[in-house]
A = this chain, B = another copy of it.
Amino acid sequence: MSSKASDGLSRRLVLGALAAAPTLPALLGATIAEAQAAAADPLPSWKERSAKFAILEFIQATTSDPSSATFVPPEERVATFDQDGTLWVEHPMYTQVVYCLDRVRAVVKEKPELAEAEPFKTVLTGDLEAIAKLSMHDLEEILAATLTGMDVDAFDAEARAWIDAAKDHRWKRLYTELTYQPMQEVLSYFRANGFKTYIVTGGGQDFVRVYSDRVYGIPREQVIGTAGGVKYGYDKDGKQFLTKEPKLLLNDNFAGKPEGIHLEIGRRPRAAFGNSTGDQQMLEYTKGGDGLRLSMIVLHDDAKREYAYGPAQGLPDTRVGTFTQALFDEAKKDGWYVISMKDDWKRIFAFE
């Protein structure tokens, strides 16, 4: 597509988006700031390319004309977003794993006997190379020790204190600043048009709920994630509390994503965004529904501004947020859109 044709199409679509300006009912769930943002170009950090047009077209087709075959009634407007690698940075390591490793120190303070036991001993050395070599079993032991056994409110307070202070090593910024500005615009644009936005993450549901409202404008109850059981009980004064148990209730990865969506929403999403093999089934399930559906997948192909990994398209392989060539081929075959961070996004972060 020539730049000129592209500009023309872009202009038509932006004008179309304005003509399909959200009605009052559509705005009921939106903040005033979101409504104002939607009235101008709703996706200013996106380049004028097919990924952006796909989003604009989808919103116009599903929300502007109630007599249209592609119109979606407000109550059915559900859009789901993976978090790690889709809404914020996941390399070199998932933020929640960094949290768990940091928490080992506090756990050992309470249970000093663990200091000499593996895998805690290795974590305490701070030797990143050795830590990276820990087995999946070791990692599970660390997650269980740092994420379970406490009152849910105590966990919430601990995680909140950490996320308010901990910084990423590359940008020296709070992890919560490392969200992708183009995706923040997508979240706001969907909400301004009456969509309920959900996070559907392989990360811990209780962890992401700590900051989802503040960071993404997504309330706690719209976060679906990997969840352990909790156990209801009474303390010595008869006060009720819930304890986080080391019992997996929902592994919100792969097939667990559509299964978790059914459990906690009960509606097939109209639009879904992901970035890795863990999102495959959610993107298939979304795109496979009746009527107009939108599935989009972020490709990390920008080593300069963020990271580059696949192994799709010859990008370096990774264990964190794997995007295989088979997944890339499925996306192309089934009409999902691949979002190239390098080519589709004018900027990555709000602080740039």
User: Which A residues have a C-beta under 8 Å from some C-beta of B?
Assistant: 28-29, 75, 78, 152, 196, 205-206, 209, 213, 219-221, 223, 227, 229-232, 239-240, 242, 249-250, 255, 258-259, 262-267, 281, 284-285, 288
Which residues of B sit under 8 angstroms from A264, Cβ to Cβ? 221, 263-264
Q: Please determine whether B28 and A240 come into contact, CB atoms closer than 8 angstroms.
A: no
Q: Which of B78, B213, B231, B281 contacts A240 (CB 8 A)?
A: B281
Q: Please determine whether B220 and A232 come into contact, CB atoms closer than 8 angstroms.
A: no
Q: Which of B205, B249, B266, B285 contacts A220 (CB 8 A)?
A: B266
Question: Is the contact region of chain A dominated by helix, strand, or loop, or is it mixed?
Answer: mixed
Q: Please determine whether A232 and B285 come into contact, CB atoms closer than 8 angstroms.
A: yes
Which residues of B sit under 8 angstroms from A262, Cβ to Cβ? 152, 230, 242
Q: Please determine whether B230 and A259 come into contact, CB atoms closer than 8 angstroms.
A: yes
Which residues of B sit under 8 angstroms from A267, Cβ to Cβ? 220-221
Which residues of B sit under 8 angstroms from A232, Cβ to Cβ? 255, 258-259, 281, 285
CA distance A221 to B239 in the complex (A): 29
CA distance A261 to B227 in the complex (A): 13
Per CB-CB distance, the 9 closest pairs between chain A and chain B, nearest first, are A232-B255, A220-B266, A240-B288, A221-B265, A240-B285, A209-B266, A232-B258, A28-B28, A230-B262
- Least CB distance from A55 to B in Å reads 23
CA distance A232 to B75 in the complex (A): 24
- Least CB distance from A322 to B in Å reads 19
* Seed contacts A230-B262, A239-B288, A264-B264; 7 additional CB < 8 Å A-B pairs: A232-B259, A232-B281, A240-B284, A240-B288, A242-B258, A242-B259, A242-B262
